[in-house]
């Protein structure tokens, strides 16, 4: 794959992530060390901090899982300001744990030569004073497995051994078709790349609509990691992706089963309390000025997320 070398577009180094055919190709995650027993970064209460934005769908997952599993006193969170300029994510008032004002400082403290985007979510090891991971798919899995000894008593098993292969397989489809598919549509730089992405997005929604027509959650009655990965994209769909990313063939509310499913999840406090539509909208429309040059945040859509 060929990548152009030029750097900043708006506040996102987007051209680095554009292929020669105009496709959006997401940067790889730089920090992928695992928090695991016996490793250099063992799980311990109070040792790690998650840096997250309410706006970011990848970070949203880790906020949901932390609450679902009752890990709030075990792993702290710093929430960054939703509006990002060329300095990257800012921590209003400074970070109470590290004192930094910008997330970039944690990336550069860990790797002074770091060249990529300074992304959320990422996890800082307070003892070792370094970033352990910005590998967002692994962060929730780590909370579900390595931190099991500290889960709340009635916490759901989001990654049950018997279902792992099925969960992993569906997560891949959801990632490619939807979580990342909407970004591929929104950041496409050619009609062909956009057409390809948007077709994939709606084929994936159609498939999920069918699947959820005869089961409450993606793998049956119980919540799993797959539901956690689907929800943040659904929550942003009508408010942002439909217009800002041009995913406008249908709205979420046009899918009866998916819409009922999304509202059912939204009724759970860990999902609802971590969903901030105002921050979501302000982030995408004001920060991604490469595709919304005026920075104007649309009013609406007026959507009632109360359960069906």
Which sequence positions are flagged as catalytic?
Answer: 56, 183
Closer Cβ to ligand GSH, 12 or 74, answer by number: 12
Handedness of CA 51, 54, 59, 64 (dihedral sign): positive
Site for ligand GSH in 19-78 (CB under 6 A): 26-27, 29, 56, 58
Work out whether 275 is an interface residue with ligand GSH (CB under 6 A).
no
Reduced to 3 states, what is the DSSP secondary structure of residue 20?
Answer: coil
Closer Cβ to ligand GSH, 212 or 235, answer by number: 235
How does 91-125 read in b/e, with b if 16+ C-beta sit within 10 Å? Answer: beeebeebebebbbbbbeebeeebebbbbbbbbbb
Closer Cβ to ligand GSH, 56 or 252, answer by number: 56
Of positions 63, 75, 120, 212, contacts ligand GSH by CB under 6 A: 120
**Binding-site size, ligand GSH (CB under 6 A):** 13
Q: In what helix (H) or strand (E) does residue 77 lie, and over which residues does it extend?
A: strand 76-79
List, in order, residues 6 or more apart from 80 with CB less than 8 Å away. Answer: 51, 52, 53, 89, 90, 91, 103, 120
Closer Cβ to ligand GSH, 44 or 85, answer by number: 85
Work out whether 171 is an interface residue with ligand GSH (CB under 6 A).
no
Work out whether 124 is an interface residue with ligand GSH (CB under 6 A).
no
Q: Which phi and psi angles does 48 have, rounded to 5°?
A: -120, 155
Q: How far is the CB of 28 from ligand GSH (least distance, A)?
A: 8
> Given the rule CB under 6 A, which residues bind ligand GSH?
12, 26-27, 29, 56, 58, 88, 117-120, 134, 136
């Amino acid at each position: 794959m060929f990548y152009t070398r030029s750097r900043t577009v708006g506040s996102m180094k987007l051209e680095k992530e554009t292929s020669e055919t105009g496709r959006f190709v997401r940067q790889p995650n730089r920090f992928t060390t695992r928090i695991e027993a016996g490793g250099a970064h063992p799980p311990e209460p109070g040792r790690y901090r998650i840096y997250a934005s309410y706006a970011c769908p990848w970070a949203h997952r880790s906020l949901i899982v932390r609450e679902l599993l009752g890990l709030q006193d075990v792993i702290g969170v710093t929430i960054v300001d939703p509006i990002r300029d060329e300095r990257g994510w800012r921590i209003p008032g400074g970070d109470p744990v590290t004192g930094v004002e910008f997330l970039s400082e944690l990336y550069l403290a860990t790797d002074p030569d770091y060249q990529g985007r300074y992304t959320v979510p990422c996890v800082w090891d307070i003892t070792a004073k370094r970033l352990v991971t910005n590998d967002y798919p692994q962060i929730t899995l780590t909370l579900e497995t390595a931190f099991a000894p500290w889960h709340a008593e009635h916490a759901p098993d989001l990654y049950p051994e018997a279902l792992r292969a099925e969960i992993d397989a569906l997560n891949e489809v959801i990632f490619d078709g939807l979580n990342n598919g909407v970004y591929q549509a929104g950041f496409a730089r050619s009609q062909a790349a956009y057409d390809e992405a948007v077709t994939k997005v709606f084929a994936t929604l159609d498939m999920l609509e069918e699947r959820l027509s005869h089961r409450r959650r993606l793998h049956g009655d119980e919540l799993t990691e797959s539901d956690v990965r689907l929800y943040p994209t659904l929550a942003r769909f009508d408010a942002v992706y439909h217009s800002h990313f041009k995913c406008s063939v249908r709205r979420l509310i046009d899918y009866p089963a998916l819409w009922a499913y999304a509202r059912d999840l939204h009724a759970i406090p860990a999902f609802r309390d971590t969903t901030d539509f105002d921050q979501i909208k302000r982030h995408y429309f004001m920060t991604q000025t490469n595709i919304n040059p005026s920075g104007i945040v649309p009013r609406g859509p007026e959507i009632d997320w109360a359960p069906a």
